[in-house]
Amino acid sequence: MTGSALVLGGGGVTGIAWEIGLLAGLLDAGVDLTTADLIVGTSAGSVVGAVVATGSDIEDLYRSQLEPPTNEIAARMTTAMLLRWGFAAVTSRSPERFRARVGALARRTRTVTPEERRRVIASRLPVHEWPNRRLVLTAVDADTGELQPFDRTSGVPLVDAVSASCAVPGVWPPVTINGREYIDGGVRSTANVDLAAGCDRIVVLAPIPKGGGPMPAVSAQVARLGDSARVAVVTPNPTARAAFGRNVLDPSRRGPSARAGRAQAADAAMAVHSIWSAA
């Protein structure tokens, strides 16, 4: 498959805001990533991918990130949960086993109700129907640890697919779809760049580019694409990282993160344009 792909990685509410700010700033510079033939969204990127693919105006989305986050629920990943993730990573014999163990952790952790979390996700999406264009949202089967890509042929409501992709284990509840439970697609990879394989022009917006243990870094996934694609990866600059703060799940950091993304776009525009305009 030739064509262009926009890959949107995970990174909490600050990642959503930063990606939207970047898209708005790149549009200011004459680079329109919303024209991608394929959009791949993981976790925070599933929200941005869904709103972009369903035709939301980027400037309206940007302004919404500057408003008080009244529909969001503040959260954080605790140190204890991070340690449990780390123990699962170093003691699992395979990536799938690691992800299944994290899925089991998610089931045992008390969080908000699935209904409360779904309402938050639904409030982020102006349109709740799958678009006709190619949109792939990633989740992980909480029992088997297998990747589950959702698209409009999957027979799954868009809100449920985004909810599953955003179901950070230990923070938000797993999402039940057709009798199976799913957790955040970022447990496999923060961006799942490999799902864009076959496209010859790929731009990756990665709020969290690093990997660890069974979770490959974005750079490693890009390297595995080889010479078959031209790829530009945009990661947060120091100003953006400062805007995120220490907790990417803090809704109060949304506005600063969006502004940082828009400002960073000026520096990223040339590299992104060189990929996006290539024939």
pTM (two decimals): 0.96
Domain span including residue 249: 4-73+111-277
Average pLDDT, the chain: 95
Catalytic residue among 184, 189, 250, 257: 184
CA atoms of 16 and 252, how far apart (whole Å): 13
* Per-residue pLDDT tens over the stretch 195-252: 999 999 999 999 999 998 899 999 999 999 988 899 999 999 999 999 999 999 999 9
**Which string of b and e fits 13-36 if b means at least 16 CB within 10 Å?**
bbbbbbbbbbbbbbbeeebebbeb
Q: Is 43 a catalytic residue?
A: yes
CA atoms of 147 and 167, how far apart (whole Å): 14
Over pLDDT 90: what percentage of the chain?
A: 91
Asked if 184 and 10 touch (Cβ cutoff 8 Å), the reply is: yes
Tokens of 148: 């589950």
The CATH number that applies at residue 268 is 3.40.1090.10
The total number of structural domains that make up the chain: 1
Tokens of 278: 């290539």
| 176 assigned to some structural domain | yes
Catalytic residue among 43, 165, 189, 257: 43
| 39 assigned to some structural domain | yes
| 101 assigned to some structural domain | no
Q: Is it the case that residue 1 has pLDDT exceeding 80?
A: no
User: What pLDDT sits at residue 227?
Assistant: 87
pLDDT band, very low/low/confident/very high, at 81 (cuts 50, 70, 90): confident
pLDDT band, very low/low/confident/very high, at 8 (cuts 50, 70, 90): very high
Asked if 243 and 260 touch (Cβ cutoff 8 Å), the reply is: yes
| 86 assigned to some structural domain | no
| 21 assigned to some structural domain | yes
| 90 assigned to some structural domain | no
Amino acid, res. 142: A
| 105 assigned to some structural domain | no
| 92 assigned to some structural domain | no
